[in-house]
Amino acid sequence: MNATLATAVWGQSSGSLPRQIVLAVAGSILLALSAKVQIPFYPVPMTMQTFVVLGIGMAYGWRLGGMTLALYMIWGAAGLPVFAGTPEKGIGLAYMMGGTGGYLVGFVMAAMLCGYLAERGWDRNPVTTAAAMLLGNAVIYLPGVLWLGVLFGWDKPILEWGLTPFLLGDVTKLALAAAVLPLAWRIVNRRPDGSA
């Protein structure tokens, strides 16, 4: 099993409980902020939320990535306006059981999957990083689209609501991740102390 970026930057002490708490809180705050920023894009505005979800998984590994996403979900369930569209579209468990509920479940699963793959070195080069992000996106969409179908009925244009408008933005974020994560590893590996 390979080191994660968090371990490479902070050393093995990133596995200590105080450091894990700091990383989980910082990651969940970053995730909440990413849900609130909308970038004009075609055909729908784009947030960086899925980029941050998958990036947290790859940078933290599957355990800490999963814990970070779980903390984010706990904040949302408690009524904090951490999700996209909150508080305007509701808060707490009522929001989580709405149309985005399946995607929120997918966030946790995708962060853990990408963390698992990163621990096996998939975040070290652009091709495997892109493949990991593609798999992560699929894991987000699967429960998201299924939940939309269950909630609103399969006679509705579920794919037009919950999949196709977001594909171009996700491809853009995938390309960005494929450049950023391997670059971060190159920077970490060039540190003068040779600790990575």
Whether residue 195 is predicted with pLDDT greater than 60 in this model: the reply is: no
pLDDT at 16 > cutoff 80? yes
Task: Write out pLDDT tens, residues 90-138.
Answer: 999 999 999 999 999 999 999 999 999 999 999 999 999 999 999 999 9
Note the pTM of the prediction, 2 decimals. Answer: 0.91
**Residue 43 near residue 161 (C-beta atoms within 8 A):** no
Picking from 2-16, 113-127, 138-152, 168-182, which range would have the lowest pLDDT averaged per residue? 2-16
Are the C-beta atoms of residues 112 and 67 closer than 8 Å to each other? no
- Note the pLDDT of residue 30: 97
Phi-psi label, residue 92: left if phi above 0, alpha if psi -120 to 50, beta otherwise: left
Per-residue confidence band for 15, with pLDDT thresholds at 50, 70 and 90: low
pLDDT at position 1 = 78
Note the pLDDT tens digit of each residue in 131-149. 999 999 999 999 999 999 9
Q: Give the mean pLDDT of the chain.
A: 92
Which domains does the chain possess?
5-189 (1.10.1760.20)
Distance of alpha carbon 168 from alpha carbon 164, whole angstroms: 8
Q: Which residues fall within 8 angstroms of residue 78, CB to CB, at 6 or more apart?
A: 92
